[in-house]
Structure 1
Amino acid sequence: MYNSNTDDVFCQQIKSGISHSNRLVFASKVKDDVQEAVGRMMKPHSLVVTDNKLPLNANMYHLRIGDISFSRLQYGASVAIEPDCLGDFYLVQMPLNGLAEVDDCYEKIHSGPQLASVLSPYSKIVMNWQSGTDQFLVKIPKPLIERTITGILGYQIEQPLRFDLGFHWQNSRQWRSLLPSIIDFASNLSSTDNHNKLIAAQLDQLITTCLLSAHHHNYTSLSSDLKTTNVRPRHVRYVQEYIEAHINESLTPEYLANIAGVSLRSLYSGFKDFLGVSPMQYLRDIRMDKVRNDILSGQAQSVTGVAMKWGFTHMGRFSCEYKKRFNETPRETLRSL
């Protein structure tokens, strides 16, 4: 059961966990320097000091875990911030101190320590932070959110996922306890250890799943229904399981339809209706995940080698599909190790 001390405990855990000197991105009173530094970590934006009675005194701490980044950002003076649309990421903003007015063209809220804001990539954002506002930020790439909701639903989404703007985060015990624990755990992760890269990818998945479960979005009712109802036909489930068990084999649509005991047309319509993809696209997605796991675990000597291992022979097409799925090229993943 939530009590009023939860905010203070959470805020202190976050502050002590992220505010290390080696994570300080900047500390400055100069508006242009602050705007450039925050824009580099988040995205370019308009920054206007709306009250010159107090010095800007801005500072930012930053910690990255896999594809997700955590930041603590504070402005000493009142500021107006307009980043336009975020474009390629979602942003959770949790005030540790102070208040911020947040408008995403659909809703307007006054965010404080008991009400976070969750910004979706598709809306024009306008914010006004009061002087002394100190926020904890969780930046999650859009492809990661989309992959995770696809995994939860069992099919690809057609409409963009949009969170409600206001997030009563204290109502989720999992969210309250998860973030401080992960930040503390991340302090002991070596960025050069390949096994830790794989751990970081799993933590990314955990954080994203927790957010999708804790906070309302336009697919919440569908994902809730799936907790009690499995709507996939037997032949679709069977072929999914077969693909995952025989991922290294040469599989064709005709063969998969034959082992499932259905027509080729029924197989395609079943996958399209319930998973949103064709059987072969489902196979490619599973193999693509295997490629990424091999790279992150340090098993890949070269991108070409690991791609060939999992059945990708056209390197140009493979690289484009990989970037679309993971928001980076396979060589960028390899170079990050």
Structure 2
Amino acid sequence: MNKLIGDHSIEIVKKPCSEAYFSHDAFAGFSIANLAYGTNLKVHCKALQEIYHLQIIVKGHCFWRFDNEMLVLKKGHAVILNPYEPIEHQYSPDCHKLILKIPEAFIKDIFLNTYDRIPKAGLKFDRSVIDIQKNPSLARLIEAISLETDEASNSVYGISNCYREIIVKKLIALFQHNGKIESKTFDDRPELDHILKYIHENIKKDIEIAELAAISNKSVRSIYNLFSKSLSTTPKIYIKNLKLQKLRNEILEGEARNVTEAAFEYGFTHLGHFSSDYRKLFGELPSQTLHSRRH
């Protein structure tokens, strides 16, 4: 585990009261870990070498101690740990945490390619907490890369690199840091409107990102950057959510004869995934939407 999430030691405060859990994946050069220790304990972390940690509390709470400073992170809170910063965590027994390890080189390269200059001491994020429930675009990006980890074909179109750039730019935009952001601005609205019009007109089809690149005479990477900059999401998530919204409207307006048929018309072939995505977006199952419309 030290190799996967960083060098650390554990001090158990109380006996375990539930099962520990750990999973690990890699995508776009990121290391993604989900962990829960199942007990109240302290974790002493040595200074991370050339790695940033984005840590998100999925459940429970966690105390962070930097020297004489302390942060309390609750469910939905996210914070970034900088390289070369020793830290101590104390976990609640039910604490479940997601950790995204980001190589320092990624942050540096993307910041320099996008903005003017980077501080001599390196880019340092403030010890400020972000509530991802108030920043749904970040939550959806994290969800997106989790879904992409099993799709090795993405490397064919360099999609993993696009995600890398979008995630890093999103973190730079959301979290306070010591860098000075000065970048040129461009009016991309006409190009975006053309792409969105195409998506709306073909929403029941299986729209590929390469297809959007072709109709707009742009690269796949440029499409991802355009959606990130203008809509704070990825084209894949935008298309999926639009399909779900259109389908929901058909149910509410009585245009859909049944949920399964409507789902297939919009390209949702895995009904379990469809129902899960629908509930995440609207807070209810499609069958519940249909029931409420009938009553």
TM range (shorter): 0.5 to 0.7
The answer for the alignment partner of 1:226 in structure 2 is 183
- The one-letter code matched in structure 2 to 1:188 is E
The answer for the alignment partner of 1:195 in structure 2 is 156
From 162, 167, 173, the equivalent of 1:213 is 173
Is the CA contact (8 Å cut-off) linking 1:65 and 1:186 kept in structure 2? yes
Structure 2: which 5+ residue stretches go unaligned? 187-295
- For the residue of structure 2 that corresponds to 1:180, the secondary structure is helix
Give distance in 1, aligned partners of 2:84 and 2:68: 11
* Offset at residue 181 of structure 1 (A): 1.9
- The one-letter code matched in structure 2 to 1:195 is V
From 100, 104, 108, the equivalent of 1:138 is 100
* Offset at residue 57 of structure 1 (A): 2.8
Give distance in 2, aligned partners of 1:176 and 1:205: 16
From 168, 173, 177, the equivalent of 2:131 is 168
Is the CA contact (8 Å cut-off) linking 1:105 and 1:123 kept in structure 2? no
Task: Output one character per residue of 1:25-79: Cα deviation in whole Å (capped at 9) or x when no partner.
Answer: xxxxxxxxxxxxx212112211111112x34732211111121121110111111
* Offset at residue 124 of structure 1 (A): 1.3
- The one-letter code matched in structure 2 to 1:226 is S
Comparing 128-137 with 55-64, which one deviates more in the overlay? Answer: 55-64
Is the CA contact (8 Å cut-off) linking 1:150 and 1:157 kept in structure 2? no
From 4, 11, 14, the equivalent of 1:51 is 14
Is the CA contact (8 Å cut-off) linking 1:90 and 1:139 kept in structure 2? yes
**Aligned residue pairs, count:** 185
Give distance in 2, aligned partners of 1:106 and 1:215: 22
Give distance in 2, aligned partners of 1:205 and 1:194: 14
Give distance in 2, aligned partners of 1:150 and 1:108: 31
Change (3 A) 1:227 1:173: farther
- The one-letter code matched in structure 2 to 1:200 is S
- For the residue of structure 2 that corresponds to 1:226, the secondary structure is coil
- The one-letter code matched in structure 1 to 2:160 is A
Task: Output one character per residue of 1:211-266: Cα deviation in whole Å (capped at 9) or x when no partner.
Answer: 111111111xx21x43569xxxxxxxxxxxxxxxxxxxxxxxxxxxxxxxxxxxxx
Give distance in 1, aligned partners of 2:164 and 2:87: 25
- The one-letter code matched in structure 2 to 1:90 is Y
* Offset at residue 120 of structure 1 (A): 0.7
The answer for the alignment partner of 1:251 in structure 2 is none
Task: Work out whether 1:128 is the aligned partner of 2:85.
Answer: no
Give distance in 2, aligned partners of 1:70 and 1:161: 21
Is the CA contact (8 Å cut-off) linking 1:82 and 1:127 kept in structure 2? yes
Give distance in 2, aligned partners of 1:153 and 1:56: 46
Change (3 A) 1:150 1:107: farther
Is the CA contact (8 Å cut-off) linking 2:4 and 2:31 kept in structure 1? no
Give distance in 1, aligned partners of 2:117 and 2:125: 19
The answer for the alignment partner of 1:152 in structure 2 is 114
Give distance in 2, aligned partners of 1:218 and 1:149: 12
Is the CA contact (8 Å cut-off) linking 2:64 and 2:70 kept in structure 1? yes
- The one-letter code matched in structure 2 to 1:211 is L
Give distance in 2, aligned partners of 1:105 and 1:209: 29
Give distance in 1, aligned partners of 2:68 and 2:140: 30
The answer for the alignment partner of 1:237 in structure 2 is none
Structure 1: which 5+ residue stretches go unaligned? 1-37, 230-337
Give distance in 2, aligned partners of 1:65 and 1:88: 18
The answer for the alignment partner of 1:114 in structure 2 is 76
The answer for the alignment partner of 1:26 in structure 2 is none
Give distance in 1, aligned partners of 2:14 and 2:155: 47
Comparing 157-166 with 125-134, which one deviates more in the overlay? Answer: 157-166
From 63, 66, 91, the equivalent of 2:25 is 63
Give distance in 1, aligned partners of 2:80 and 2:123: 12
Task: Output one character per residue of 1:134-179: Cα deviation in whole Å (capped at 9) or x when no partner.
Answer: 0111110111111111122233431221112222333323212211
Give distance in 2, aligned partners of 1:112 and 1:80: 16
* Offset at residue 112 of structure 1 (A): 1.0
- The one-letter code matched in structure 2 to 1:213 is A
Change (3 A) 1:105 1:150: farther
